[in-house]
Structure 1
Amino acid sequence: MVNPDPRSRLLKAAIRLLATHGPTEIKARSVSSEAGLSTMGVYTHFGGVSELLQAVAEEGFRQQADIFRQVANTQDAMTDLCAIALACRDFAMRNAHLYDLMFGLSIQGRYGPVRGESTTAPKVGADAFMASYSHLRGGCERLIKGNCVRQMEPDLMAAQLWSTLHGFILLELGGHFAATLNPPIEILVPMCINLVVGLGADRERAKASAAIAVADWASRQCDTKSMAQFLNAVNTI
């Protein structure tokens, strides 16, 4: 078995440490030790800890993009957008520290989708961010072109869905929905339905499309209760 190159070993080591200890543990010495390399390797292969954190965030977006690519594959854009929302939530739940780093929420996660001129803080490369975001934007563009919602700029619609999705995720990660049996099904999906209906979509069609995404999501988790919870939730909106 071929040993991964030093840069890959350092990146994987940083991701492991991030998952178990959070971003404050991502230091040149700890990452190098985890990777079985000298401390100098972080500076040789990345330039420093800030650049290593940037690479970790970019890897997070690549992983997220792979997940979105797997779920957003039907002929129904509304189903695909709902599937993306559920997949994004699940990714965040499994990778809370990585998610924080990707979206600039942790102390060391001062990253955004493009490089800015007003700050010296590293930024996640546009390509890494767009590899993930393009799936959401593409679904919005398909809805608009298919006259399923009113005519608007796809980027504006995607921004609204992105904001809705990540607002929910942050609240769930913070434990604000602890009293809810199934937050993604009882809160997130109905909220997304309400948003697209507000943008001009037919409510019954939106519910039907969302139900397909929920059924697929539930089947992959062997969760037989989610559909009943979803139907109960959408019948109230």
Structure 2
Amino acid sequence: MLCNTVKVSPRKLDPETRATLVDIAARLLAEHGAEALSTRKIAAEAGTSTMAVYTHFGSMSGLVREMVHEGFARLERQFSMVVRTDDPVADMAVLGYAYRQNAKANSHLYAVMFGGQSLAGFSLTDDDRQYGRYTLLTVVECATRCIEAGRFRDGDPLLVAHEMWIATHGLVNLELGGYLIDPVDADRCYDTILHSLLLGVGDDAEAVAASMAASKKRRAHEVEADLAPAEPATTHR
């Protein structure tokens, strides 16, 4: 009987194999549900042995946990590509677009990241959720700069960041699920929602229009449509 935890020297671990196993497991889960998530199927698609799952993750629960961490590591990497400029509102718009692009490029990881998949033997812990909370700090810092620049009214930048996250996350769920109704596409929805949010936190309509236009010119250069696997994630505190 295979032990749930196998200790192997770190020198024998291949990071490329680790990332491949994470992507394959997440795709099987997204396409076929929890019943498809088995060491046999994952190993077969990766062209390796079932032992590789235990070597890299210790257990199937460990593999699912790594999907969560990898998903947020890729989001953090996407955010890090957004250039900090003297127009923090444009920066905020590009961050929201980066969030959307990351979700689309990694849709197989997306449901797992937020606990949208119920898997036997695994549930998100507070440490797991910390990966998501950490990525929000980039948006909080941007909201702080918007307030300090006089673009947003005085207020709580953490609350502003949550508002931006909630609105963008909701749009992404509808976008990935194919629920938007033509001719209302996701880009149009994003621009409209963001415009309303920016006005709601105190920005001027003319200034918002200028920042939105600037952000559109930057999106293709600062946001990748697809991302290679990130370096192994570490817990952020």
TM-score band, normalised by shorter chain = 0.7 to 0.9
Q: What do the CA deviations read for 1:87-122 (whole angstroms, capped 9, x no partner)?
A: 21122222222111112222349765xx34xxxxxx
Q: What do the CA deviations read for 1:35-56 (whole angstroms, capped 9, x no partner)?
A: 4443233334323112211112
CA–CA distance in structure 2, aligned partners of residues 190 and 202 of structure 1: 15
Out of 13, 21, 37, the residue aligned to residue 13 of structure 1 is 21
Equivalence for 1:211: 213
What are the within-5 Å matches in structure 2 for residues 131-170 of structure 1?
131-170=134-173
Give the drift of 1:130. Answer: 4.4
Q: TM-score, normalised by structure 1?
A: 0.76
CA–CA distance in structure 2, aligned partners of residues 7 and 26 of structure 1: 21
Change (3 A) 1:164 1:48: same
Give the drift of 1:204. Answer: 1.4
Change (3 A) 1:183 1:4: farther
Give the drift of 1:149. Answer: 1.1
Give the drift of 1:20. Answer: 5.8
Equivalence for 1:33: 44
CA–CA distance in structure 2, aligned partners of residues 12 and 219 of structure 1: 27
Change (3 A) 1:4 1:73: farther
Change (3 A) 1:50 1:153: same
- 8 A contact 1:102–1:111 mirrored in 2: no
Give structure 1 stretches of 5+ with no counterpart.
117-122, 222-237
Out of 121, 124, 128, the residue aligned to residue 124 of structure 1 is 128
Equivalence for 1:232: none
1:95 aligns with 2:106: yes
- 8 A contact 1:177–1:183 mirrored in 2: yes
Q: What do the CA deviations read for 1:131-179 (whole angstroms, capped 9, x no partner)?
A: 5322212111111222221222221111111000001111111212241
CA–CA distance in structure 2, aligned partners of residues 220 and 10 of structure 1: 27
- 8 A contact 1:57–1:98 mirrored in 2: yes
Q: What do the CA deviations read for 1:164-198 (whole angstroms, capped 9, x no partner)?
A: 000111111121224126422x1112211211211
CA–CA distance in structure 1, aligned partners of residues 61 and 119 of structure 2: 8
CA–CA distance in structure 1, aligned partners of residues 48 and 107 of structure 2: 27
Change (3 A) 1:40 1:160: same
1:43 aligns with 2:61: no
Out of 178, 194, 202, the residue aligned to residue 175 of structure 1 is 178
Equivalence for 1:201: 203
CA–CA distance in structure 1, aligned partners of residues 67 and 177 of structure 2: 23
Q: TM-score, normalised by structure 2?
A: 0.76
Change (3 A) 1:199 1:181: closer
Q: What percent of counterpart residues are identical?
A: 27
Across the aligned residues of Structure 1 and Structure 2, the Cα RMSD in angstroms comes to 2.8
Q: Secondary structure at the match of 2:20?
A: helix
One-letter code aligned to 1:200: G
RCO higher in structure (CA 8 A, sep ≥6): 2
Equivalence for 2:77: 66
Q: Secondary structure at the match of 2:116?
A: coil
Q: Secondary structure at the match of 1:75?
A: coil
Structure 1 range deviating more: 19-28 or 171-180: 19-28
